[in-house]
Every structure is written in C-alpha cells, then in structure tokens.
Amino acid sequence: MKIKILLSAVILSIGLFSCNENNKEPVKVAKKETQSGFNYLAEQFADIKVLRYQIPGFNALTLQQKKYVYFLTQAGLAGRDIMYDQNYRHNLKIRRALENIYVNYRGVKTVDSWKNFEIYLKKVWFANGIHHHYANAKFIPSFTQAYFDTLLKGSNTKLEGEAYEIIFNALDAKKVNLNLDKGLIIGSAINFYSPNVTAEDVDTYYSSIKVDAKTPIEKGLNSRLVKENGKLFEKVYKSGGLYGAAIDKIIYWLEKAKEIAENEEQKKGLGLLIKYYQTGDLHVWDSYNIVWAKSTDGDIDYINGFIEVYNDPKGYKGSYESVVQIKDFDMSKKMAALAENAQWFEDNSPLQESHKKKNVVGVSYKTVNVAGEAGDASPSTPIGINLPNNNWIREQHGSKSVSLGNIIGAYNNAGGSGRLEEFAFNDEEVAYEKKYGKLADKLHTSLHEVIGHASGQINEGVGTPKETMKNYASTLEEARADLVGLYYLPDAKLVEIGISPDAHGIGKAAYDGYIRNGLLTQLIRLNLGDDIEEAHMRNRQLVAAWAMEKGTKDNIIEKVTKEGKTYFVINDYDKLRVLFGELLSEIQRIKSEGDFEAGKSLVETYGVKVNPTIHKEVLERNSKFNAAPYSGFINPVLVPVTDDKGDITDVKVTQPESFTSQMLEYAKKYTTLPDVN
C-alpha cells in the first residue's frame, strides 16, 4: 500500500493522508529554486506539473553501494513497458507511434495543433497510457483526426485499426470503472483481463482456486485472465511467459544487484525475487516478501514487482512498480518511536476488542530518499509506502513502512499558489495550517501507514477484504487507515514519545484540512456533474461527509456561508475525534465480519455522489488559480563511470534536461516488449 501525492498545492492541507495517491504541497509563495539554486520545477502542461528531485546522501555511499543502487534502478526501468501494457492493450502501439511522430515529423511545429499534439503525448507519458493517471478517463485530443493523419503521413508512422480509432472514438472511456451498473470489467479498459471476460467470469474463476485459509496466496496477482473458446485461464507474468522479454531484463539487473548486495538477507531476498520472476510462483512471492519484510539492515532498500491492486476493479491484479531508496538516518531515528509504540496504539484504539490485534508484529518505519522509480510509481510517485500487502504476512512476520523524504521535500520546495486563503474559513484556520500543516501531514502519513494498515484483524473464517468487500475494498481500507491517523493526531501520546510538539495544534490543523478537502477542495479534480470514482477521493469524502451528517445535530461541524462562499467549520474538535473513532470502529467491524452490504452502503451513501451546487462553486472559486492540480517527477539519471576495462569506478547523479528528453531516452533504452502482448 502506498501514498501518492497527486495534487500540487491545490488540496491545501488535505494532508498526505491516504495510500496510493498524491495529496498536497504545503501552501507557500511559489518559487522555482531553493537557496541552493536547485530548480525543482521542470515544466507545467495541461493539469500537470513535472518536478525534479535530488538524492541526498548518494555521494556518501561506497562504490559498492552506488553500484547496487544503479543496478536496482536499471532493473526497475527494464519493466517500464509492462505498466503501459497493463494500463491498456493498445498503449504501447499508440505511445510508440506518437514518439515516432514527435521525433521524425518535419512539418511546421509552431501551429496550435502541433502544440496540442505535444501536450497529448506528454499526458500519455505522464499517465503511462491514454487514460488519466488519477481520474481514469480517456484523454480527448485537442487536435483533429485529419491533422493526426497529416502527422502520421509526414513522419512515415503507421497506426491502424482499433489502436488508431480508439484515440478519437468514445470506446474504452475509463481505465478503471467502479460503477457496478456499467460492469466492473466490461466497463474498464485496464488490460488485466481479455475484453470478453466479465466480472462474473472473474468471480467464478478465482472462487474455484482453493488456498490455505491461514496463509493464502494473492490469487491472480501476476497474471492476465483470458477467455478463449469459452475457457478461462491465466497468462502468468514470468520469464518465458507473458511479459517475459521485459522480465528477463529485470532478472539480468537483479542478478547483478544480488552479487553486490549489502548483506546476506538482501542477497537471499533478491534470490527469491529472481526465482519468482523466473517461475511466476505466488508461493515464492510470499517467501520473498517474508524475507524482504524482515530485511531491515543496510542503507539501501527497494520495491520491485506486481504489487498494488488499485488499478483492478476486482482487486486481484498487481501493477508493476519499482522504487529504489536510500536511508535517511536522522528522520528514521525520530520516526522509529512510532513503530515502537504500535501495540499501544492498537490497544487504545476505539475498535471492538475482538477486532484488535493482540500482537502487532514487526512494523518498521523509516524516512528514505528515493534514487529512482519506474512503472506505477513514476512519474506520479508515492510519498509513503507500506508493504507487504498480504495480510497474513503482515500479521505473522511484520511489514515495512517508509516515507519518501526527498519527494516530500521536492513538493514543499516547488511552491504553492495561495488557495489556502480562498478555502479556509478564517485567519485562525490559515494560521494553524501554516504553523502545523506540514508536520501534521507527515505525522498522518506515518500513522496511516505504520499504525493504520497494521491495525485490526479479520474474524476467523471470513475471507480476505477483496473477496468480501469486492470493488469497495480499497476505499474502505484507505478510509480505515485515514481514520486511525485522524483519531490519534490530537493524542498526547505523540507528544509523550517526542514526535509531536503540540497535540491540540496538530489535531486542529489536521482536522480542519481533512474536512475542508473532503467536502470542498478535492472537487477541483472532477468535471462538473461527475461522480467520484477514484478510491481515495471516495474515502476522503466518505469520512468527511459521514462526520458532517452525524455531527450536525450537536453542531460539531457547521456549514457556513460567508460572502456568498461555502465553508465547513468545526466547532468541537474533541467531539469530532469521537465521531472519527465511531466510524473507524464500524469500518473495522465491516471488514472483520465481511459485511458487504454495510460497506457498500457507506461508500455509495457518502463517498460517490457530489453536491452539484457546491461543486460548481468550488470550480468557480478555483478558476482564478493557474497552478496544475497534479504533480509528478522526472528521475535523476545515474551515470556509471568506467575504466578502460569497462569496470564501474563511480556513479554520478545528473538531472535530465526536460521531461520530454527523459521520456525519449527511456523509449530508446528500455523498450523491452513488442507492441502487442
């Protein structure tokens, strides 16, 4: 599970509050460079801001460690094409056609149509495909089909059939559809299932696979489910199987990394990861994750594999991702206090006693600095990660949580736009956000990952959440983890263990920001009239709207109109904390008991529908700001220095010239798959 920042400054103190999504940058005067002169902002286009990040501590590594980081980043990038193909079956063919046009077209490139073509290509690069990385809607070109034909002809580029037509027609409009009425699989363009597979097929197939109830594998995690001649079967991602050409390249670099790993545990883990890629065996994947979770020594760590299932409306299929990271020693020491007290938080939570874990095992939390990302982690990157995802491994062997310090720092340094003053109710709310907002974000991220995802247990005999909660599983899990963080942010325990300076101030800033975002500012991501479909946005509105409704009677939260503008004002923070605890207990009950109908009711009642009047108002109030609502990153380039024998004598860190130059370079160096897979 991971936290991504999808918004730049627009969310205003929503906090870095939920997994697998971008949240916010602290509000400050926009600036391109820090005092050190590093330019964090690469460029902005459409609704996207592309940033750069540095790698603190890299030059202090030994040569062996630098090589280890280099080999791991190369392994990650070797699988880059996989993410495109997973996102949509025509993505690779379309991306390569667009890139060929960009490089080889010799016509006029100053007209608006060409500029619109460039923006379309950049959007495809940023999203790893033709659907928006967050909203999931297919991109609509701002150039005509006739102009596109001119570009194809003028660059000697071939793109035909469905791959050509899909750019301009209305088919496959959503990458991930969570609306049951439209069909979870038929309504989703994601390439985890052949186009003729239905949601019923998926249920039938995976319910027929029997697993050990106490140590279940993650069924379907690394495969595509297809139907041919009426028969369902899996095409497994492995060497010699689906995506084998890319996986062989990943294995090549992992083998080189294994030779120079920092310790025996790292070598053992890499050996199991290589075996998993060679065989596709999910039991090996579990064995690898156990070793990986326990491997906490060393200065370098990584994530590599088919991991998060957010892109699968049925919650089975893992998207490819890679993150390579270097330990941030100072921050990790400070945050270790949270992990050390994990059992205290579980024991003192508002959950029913039967739903609490008696022994919270091995939760480790570190702040790290990213050295490279790929796949589902790039360009739209996580800022926090908690793995493994398999619940029994977490319970029996522990998990690792990390906060990506240099990524968060880059967001902070890239600047904001002043939306805080527009959407906050008064000067006091603004002052608390400016004083405590950034730290509240960091603490909530930590609580969400270390305590939230490690908390609670499923009743014996109840299936896994993706089986019992189905398409609502991700939303409910993120809401549950968010609520754990919200419940504890105002707690004096955080002050006692030395990670919070002021329980009241941190709690107030966090609560104001969460309600403000859940009911107002996150709506700028949606087109007027749209329902909320993305799981994390549903989560935040669910929590905020439920609390608003339940708190109306006692005036805990009040809807206020001031100068024709809508605000949601918290009048009693202590009582709001009690409400958060009640909702946390109920969501845990739903998960523990596998109560699908109650889970569905919560999400559909509070998390999906948007008040059209408030939405229209929010869009109008936001229209005066021009900062892009989504942010992501280009990666630093690790350049090996070699001697006359070809041996690596050093690894240098350089910055790419631009987003475009990096994407074109990646296309040259890391094309590992054919157009059709």
For residue 292, give the 3-state DSSP assignment.
helix
Confidence check: pLDDT of 29 > 60 = no
pLDDT digits (tens, 9 = 90+) for 345-358: 999 999 999 999 99
Residues 321 and 372: beta-carbon distance below 8 Å: no
Domain residue ranges of the chain, discontinuous segments joined by +: 2-56+328-631, 91-129+139-165
Indicate the burial class of 181 (C-beta count within 10 angstroms; 0-12, 13-18, 19 or more).
exposed
Backbone angles phi, psi at 227, to 5 degrees: -130, 120
The pLDDT value recorded for residue 421 is: 93
Confidence check: pLDDT of 33 > 90 = no
Residues 6+ apart with CB under 8 A from 578: none
pLDDT digits (tens, 9 = 90+) for 295-348: 999 999 999 999 999 999 999 999 999 999 999 876 677 678 888 899 999 999
Identify the helix (H) or strand (E) that includes residue 158.
Answer: none
pLDDT-derived band at 415, boundaries 50, 70, 90: low
**Considering the chain, what is the average pLDDT of its residues?**
91
Confidence check: pLDDT of 245 > 90 = yes
The pLDDT value recorded for residue 446 is: 83
Q: What is the DSSP string of 31-96?
A: -SB-TT--B-EEEEETTEEEE----TTGGGS-HHHHHHHHHHHHHHHHTHHHHHHHH-TTHHHHHH
CA distance 664 to 331: 36
Residues 587 and 469: beta-carbon distance below 8 Å: no
The pLDDT value recorded for residue 24 is: 34
Q: Quick one: DSSP state of residue 316?
A: -
Confidence check: pLDDT of 674 > 80 = yes
Query: What CA dihedral angle connects 561, 562, 564 and 567, to 10 degrees?
Result: -50
Q: What is the mean pLDDT of residues 17-46?
A: 55
pLDDT digits (tens, 9 = 90+) for 393-402: 998 999 998 8
CA torsion sign, 8 to 14 to 20 to 25?
Answer: positive
Paired tokens of 205: 């197939």
Q: What is the share, in percent, of the chain residues with pLDDT greater than 90? A: 79
The total number of residues shown for the chain amounts to 677
Task: Look up tokens 């491994």; give the residue.
Answer: 393
The pLDDT value recorded for residue 412 is: 76
Q: Lowest-pLDDT range, 7-16, 35-44, 366-375, 549-558?
A: 7-16
pLDDT-derived band at 2, boundaries 50, 70, 90: low
Q: What is the mean pLDDT of residues 215-227?
A: 97
Residues 355 and 592: beta-carbon distance below 8 Å: yes
3-state helix, strand, coil in the chain (%, to 5): 45, 15, 35
The pLDDT value recorded for residue 361 is: 78
Residues 326 and 61: beta-carbon distance below 8 Å: yes
Residues 416 and 41: beta-carbon distance below 8 Å: no
Q: What is the mean pLDDT of residues 432-442?
A: 89
Residues 6+ apart with CB under 8 A from 270: 254, 257, 258, 261
Nearest 5 degrees, angle CA 31-CA 34-CA 37? 115
Residues 6+ apart with CB under 8 A from 72: 253, 254, 257, 300, 302, 304, 322, 324, 371, 372
Confidence check: pLDDT of 567 > 50 = yes
pLDDT digits (tens, 9 = 90+) for 159-194: 999 999 999 999 999 999 988 888 999 999 999 999
Q: Strand 223-228 vs strand 48-51: parallel, antiparallel, or unpaired?
A: unpaired
pLDDT digits (tens, 9 = 90+) for 596-649: 999 999 999 999 999 999 999 999 998 888 778 789 999 999 999 999 999 999
> Which neighbouring-strand residues pair with 44?
49
Q: Strand 363-375 vs strand 399-404: parallel, antiparallel, or unpaired?
A: parallel
The pLDDT value recorded for residue 553 is: 87
Residues 514 and 573: beta-carbon distance below 8 Å: no
Backbone angles phi, psi at 397, to 5 degrees: -125, -10
Characterize 347-358 residue by residue with b for buried, 16 or more Cβ atoms within 10 angstroms of its Cβ, and e for exposed.
Answer: eebbbeeebbbe
Q: Considering only the C-alpha atoms of the chain, give the largest distance between any 2 of them, rounded to a whole number of Å.
A: 77
> Which neighbouring-strand residues pair with 648?
642
Identify the helix (H) or strand (E) that includes residue 457.
Answer: none
Paired tokens of 169: 């027609």
CA distance 411 to 441: 12
Which has the closest alpha carbon to 275: 291, 262, 294, 261?
291
Nearest 5 degrees, angle CA 388-CA 309-CA 389? 15
What's this model's pTM, rounded to 2 decimal places? 0.79
Confidence check: pLDDT of 27 > 70 = no
pLDDT digits (tens, 9 = 90+) for 49-60: 999 999 999 999
Identify the helix (H) or strand (E) that includes residue 587.
Answer: helix 573-593
Confidence check: pLDDT of 21 > 50 = no
CA distance 574 to 571: 9
Q: Quick one: DSSP state of residue 527?
A: P
Confidence check: pLDDT of 492 > 90 = yes
**What are the C-alpha distances in Å from 606 to residues 11, 307, 451, 547, 550?**
20, 29, 25, 10, 12
